Structure 1
């Protein structure tokens, strides 16, 4: 195998390894396969390129255009992912491991693409929360808006997920409209470099949106400003060192970290041997010990089981782990490959020595295990190892030492409060799992461990067939944790996008807020519609365009007919004396849904036109009852427009129903799909 040059992509040019380059060895054979690093990188030119070229190009795009770009990137990588599979075997990863890294990363692109189209506007400003009214007559209001940071996002990633670790940060960054500089761990940087090359070769990214550093970043951290963001994954020690950079402190540079984590899994007291939950628990633990050779930030490091079940769990794990085939990750039948490097293997062995001061090894021998299809001495192989801590209350090392490999420690708990206490001894973890079929147990544990964990994964016989697993963070939800886990959050859907945007409070008149947010604000100037709005296409409709309908009287016959026709004979509509005894009604009143139906009859244009479908209504509120003899009319205003496809878009209408005195009776938002 020829030596690979892992190049950096800086200011639009690929730069080969140079001074300061490091050799990278195969995790399987120990042979040098690549070289990465160049101390002569012009980091200021990279920052300038991102800030002056990449940033403006991304900010010109709307959220939907960026989301469409992410989807296209995901599709392109899917078409070429076999190349990533092939090169990843040298990291020690098996074919199954690729699902967590490569497929997981691509899936993250698709999720953020979908969320960007569904939950963000087809514009440049994201509105955070509702409009706040500060004045009596509504002429002075406020709204929180979010706009892209105008610097660069520096992503510093760990070695264990060279693709997913990059894409989980890159997707929300690009969706926010911010350029990124990606710096992976050197040990697996050749996989990340290939993924970056594929994305750049796709032609889907604007120039300057993505740059790549193989090796060190030089003094880049010293050059960051208040508009930049650092997103880090790695050890807590390194996170502290980076976070303490003077420029980061002085400029209040945003810094998010995902660091060490002593994750735990709790076997519920109801999950005894013979139950589906017990078998599920053992399967989850075995999987987390062996997938990626245990090199996962979310892997189960501490197994917390009822004292009476500890021996049963050990026996069940021994049986399952005995079937675990360790060897060449590219070979069919291999269940667990190698650690990423011999250096990492040495680190795990050092951590094992620490664990052995408080726990007894009951499964696995690092000096005596079989490796199939590879040389055990040359590759970075280790067997799955389980330790038993007999006295977890007095122990300290098992609650603070993370052996980042196929290693876990089992300990017993006396009662549920004790289990919660042990889980929290990790002083902040990414995830805790609970296997139980008892809802009260789930509630008590969630209330007890929530403050110390970023994610609580609960599984039982109902969800086990469709659940994603203890160790699988989902892009829809936050990935991170307090304390030892770094105190940061990644992904989390649109919450993750907000890390790369500035939330700003904007105050002014309704017209000013409407102009900024491109969404109708009550009190802003209403534009009389030049024709019935249901006859106008999506493109023709303007924000604030309004019609006011003619009135319609609501009669007692209307109320009784609606009650008989629908079967809704609630007393407030049918019994005058009973209605009067109700503090909300003056007597018999019209059904709320009758008013909605009459409102539709007042504003709907019946003929075929650009309105393709009514897809629902939001935020319905009834403010004032309508007795027989009152009349109602409707004000219909274009509130917001969102492109959905190349053929049609969603129109959100602000609808108010008013009575003969112009008092507000009901208010809601109507959704329609309109042709362009």
Structure 2
């Protein structure tokens, strides 16, 4: 059976015999993979045109809702993926990290969409006035580039690897063409079939290519992106393609690196035990086949052997075998070819000065490679910090001083992640400053957080996944960082009316008066820029005294006439929160209506003091809107409070929950 690619709206089979995909435990041929004769260049153009147009018709909010629905759809069908996963050598726990982890990424990015606009433009910062009369303004905005994202995935995470790249691209409105690694392409194909069968993905938003990319890169230009996960050698070769060097295609690489764990000098016995557990887990999950797995371990000279033995004690009871068998903790590597690579790497490390301290007595035939702990009593040889065994192998090094440890850590040439086991903030500060340019994520492990830590090797959707140097220099995940990376940033200059209309956010100078009080309007009826000037209120001595009594805020500037006169105010002034409360009294319409509740307050600034005799007036403007659910939306109101001289005394943003049209009045 040949695996099929999904290109240009059709499932297609490549020509020729193809490369076999084998069961990692039994060696049985499960399928064959080939992309020969497939229209890969045409698929790029088709994805841009058909997929791009369909995605832009949805907007951020709808794309976010579809990601959530897709996550729910896959959750209900994940047992099929679990069953297939066993053929890759993964245990059920391994499948949980890949399948459920990938579905979790979809949920995370769907939740991020709640704070995004309904359209496809994402404003970045405030409007910048470019003329005194505000008729010409500028703003930075992010928008889809009109291209396609090509993802090239590694064999170790056929589900999570595809979904963690797909989710931010889909939310950004950019179509995806996914190319899985051959050894686990059958799992990726099954996943994509599920995703397409859900009916949630617009045509062209997701394509699948199994087999070689062929001449696909020749079709890419400055609008497109390639997100690569794999070896540094492959990444370095791909970077030299004219698509990246000459035509400006974005190349984002996340490559295998020599990630490290370090037991700090200030670590206690509990930190040692917790770190030993972390190292053992990293050698066990996916049989050590994770780009974030711990490859190098550093410990003070006098604590190196205790740490080694603590790790060994946790690995020794593990049972190796076919992951479909009862009680198996650890499966084989993904393929016999992968095992050969690990064997060559271990031989190179031993030749470079390390020795085998302990090796698990489990099976070593076929694609099985037992967990192995290497010890390098001389930590200095550079070769020990340049070779990675991509399997259940870690090398342990001694160090004498923090400065020596930092020098050794840096020999790795860039890491995705490092774990520091210490309870001491000063020790953590030393390594944070020293490793800022060496690692993408620094994970501090100690007695205070170990019970809650998500672990060394688990990238989180809201945090950066990537690293400098050998780790590829890329940025995957990271919440909105990943979404923004799929978009084009441009400076947009126009009149305030045009800016407001296109960004969906209030631009000063584009206000228009409200014909009825805005609090009488439903979410759909409110218009961005709609403005209400309130009636006025003169502040009295009684107001200040009563607010002090009510709030228990008897700060001298409000209650001590003599001290206040000698202060920077020069007189007794009203509480800032009285000004806030007085403004609410001016603009709130008290009768029941579509405005249901105060949802929050942001960006409060008190600009001028207010005293007895000053007269306040407020201006309330619809600043921004976003739907919350089927019944309510969140409306942000720009509030400006001015005095009798029309000088602003306070500015802030109020958020309210507003009923959507047709939902009726609150009970």
* TM-score range relative to shorter protein: over 0.9
Q: Runs of 4 or more off by more than 6 Å in structure 1?
A: none
Match of 1:658 in 2: 642
Match of 2:463 in 1: 477
Match of 2:201 in 1: 205
2:586 pairs with 602, 606, 613, which one?
602
Q: Distance in 2 between matches of 1:588 and 1:136?
A: 35
> Are the equivalent residues in 2 in contact too, given 1:257–1:487 (CA < 8 A)?
yes
Superposition pairs for residues 127-166 of structure 1, below 5 Å?
A: 127-166=123-162
Runs of 5+ in structure 1 lacking a partner? none
> Are the equivalent residues in 2 in contact too, given 1:363–1:384 (CA < 8 A)?
no
Task: Give 1:576 shift.
Answer: 2.5
Kindly provide the CA deviation profile for residues 208-236 of structure 1, in whole angstroms up to 9, marking residues without a partner as x: 11110110111000111111111100111
Task: Give 1:32 shift.
Answer: 1.4
Task: Give 1:137 shift.
Answer: 4.0
Q: Match of 1:329, SS?
A: coil
1:21 aligns with 2:18: yes
Runs of 5+ in structure 2 lacking a partner? 661-667
1:321 aligns with 2:342: no
Q: Match of 2:550, SS?
A: helix
Q: Match of 2:498, SS?
A: helix
Match of 2:54 in 1: 57
> Are the equivalent residues in 2 in contact too, given 1:554–1:627 (CA < 8 A)?
yes
Match of 1:453 in 2: 439
Match of 2:616 in 1: 632
Q: Distance in 2 between matches of 1:362 and 1:186?
A: 32
Q: Match of 2:499, SS?
A: helix
Q: Distance in 1 between matches of 2:70 and 2:355?
A: 46
Kindly provide the CA deviation profile for residues 55-114 of structure 1, in whole angstroms up to 9, marking residues without a partner as x: 100011110100011111111110000000000111110111012111110100100110
Superposition pairs for residues 440-589 of structure 1, below 5 Å?
A: 440-524=426-510, 526-583=511-568, 585-589=569-573
Q: Distance in 1 between matches of 2:648 and 2:144?
A: 38
Match of 2:327 in 1: 333
Superposition pairs for residues 74-153 of structure 1, below 5 Å?
A: 74-118=71-115, 120-153=116-149
Q: Distance in 2 between matches of 1:421 and 1:590?
A: 58
2:183 pairs with 179, 187, 191, which one?
187
Q: Distance in 1 between matches of 2:186 and 2:114?
A: 32
1:401 pairs with 387, 406, 418, which one?
387
Q: Match of 1:661, SS?
A: coil
2:277 pairs with 274, 283, 305, which one?
283
Kindly provide the CA deviation profile for residues 289-343 of structure 1, in whole angstroms up to 9, marking residues without a partner as x: 1110110000000001111100111111221111121111122321111100000
Q: Distance in 2 between matches of 1:559 and 1:566?
A: 11
Q: Match of 2:362, SS?
A: coil
Task: Give 1:523 shift.
Answer: 2.2
Q: Distance in 2 between matches of 1:152 and 1:566?
A: 57
Q: Match of 1:626, SS?
A: coil
Q: Match of 1:24, SS?
A: strand
Q: Distance in 1 between matches of 2:444 and 2:9?
A: 46
Match of 1:351 in 2: 345
1:370 pairs with 341, 362, 366, which one?
362
Taking a change above 3 Å as real, the CA distance of residues 363 and 82 of structure 1, as seen in their structure-2 partners, is: farther
Q: Distance in 1 between matches of 2:354 and 2:318?
A: 21
Match of 1:241 in 2: 237
> Are the equivalent residues in 2 in contact too, given 1:318–1:363 (CA < 8 A)?
no
Q: Distance in 1 between matches of 2:125 and 2:190?
A: 40
1:421 pairs with 376, 383, 407, which one?
407
Task: Tell me whether 329-338 or 228-237 shows the greater mean CA deviation.
Answer: 329-338
1:293 aligns with 2:293: no
Q: Match of 1:628, SS?
A: coil
Match of 1:386 in 2: 373
Superposition pairs for residues 161-172 of structure 1, below 5 Å?
A: 161-172=157-168
Q: Distance in 1 between matches of 2:651 and 2:617?
A: 12
> Are the equivalent residues in 1 in contact too, given 2:256–2:292 (CA < 8 A)?
no
Task: Give 1:172 shift.
Answer: 0.3
Taking a change above 3 Å as real, the CA distance of residues 359 and 289 of structure 1, as seen in their structure-2 partners, is: farther
1:40 aligns with 2:26: no
Q: Match of 2:355, SS?
A: strand
Task: Give 1:16 shift.
Answer: 2.2
Task: Tell me whether 421-430 or 105-114 shows the greater mean CA deviation.
Answer: 421-430
> Are the equivalent residues in 2 in contact too, given 1:20–1:38 (CA < 8 A)?
no
> Are the equivalent residues in 2 in contact too, given 1:327–1:336 (CA < 8 A)?
yes
Task: Tell me whether 326-335 or 538-547 shows the greater mean CA deviation.
Answer: 326-335
Kindly provide the CA deviation profile for residues 372-407 of structure 1, in whole angstroms up to 9, marking residues without a partner as x: xxxx53x300111111111112x1111110110011
Task: Give 1:20 shift.
Answer: 5.5
Q: Distance in 2 between matches of 1:54 and 1:149?
A: 13
Q: Distance in 2 between matches of 1:440 and 1:539?
A: 53
Q: Distance in 1 between matches of 2:520 and 2:205?
A: 41
Task: Give 1:648 shift.
Answer: 0.9
Q: Distance in 1 between matches of 2:258 and 2:476?
A: 18
Q: Distance in 2 between matches of 1:227 and 1:655?
A: 40
Q: Distance in 1 between matches of 2:37 and 2:256?
A: 32
> Are the equivalent residues in 2 in contact too, given 1:382–1:406 (CA < 8 A)?
yes
Match of 1:226 in 2: 222
Q: Match of 1:350, SS?
A: helix
Q: Distance in 2 between matches of 1:117 and 1:327?
A: 45
Normalising to structure 2: TM-score of the pair? 0.97
> Are the equivalent residues in 2 in contact too, given 1:7–1:15 (CA < 8 A)?
yes
Taking a change above 3 Å as real, the CA distance of residues 546 and 171 of structure 1, as seen in their structure-2 partners, is: same
1:31 aligns with 2:38: no
Task: Tell me whether 506-515 or 306-315 shows the greater mean CA deviation.
Answer: 506-515
Kindly provide the CA deviation profile for residues 217-260 of structure 1, in whole angstroms up to 9, marking residues without a partner as x: 11000111111111100111111111111133211101100113
Q: Distance in 2 between matches of 1:411 and 1:290?
A: 20
Match of 2:663 in 1: none
> Are the equivalent residues in 1 in contact too, given 2:358–2:374 (CA < 8 A)?
no
> Are the equivalent residues in 2 in contact too, given 1:222–1:248 (CA < 8 A)?
no
Q: Distance in 2 between matches of 1:247 and 1:562?
A: 66
Match of 1:342 in 2: 336
Please tell me the root mean square deviation across aligned C-alpha atoms, in Å.
1.2
Q: Distance in 2 between matches of 1:132 and 1:306?
A: 54
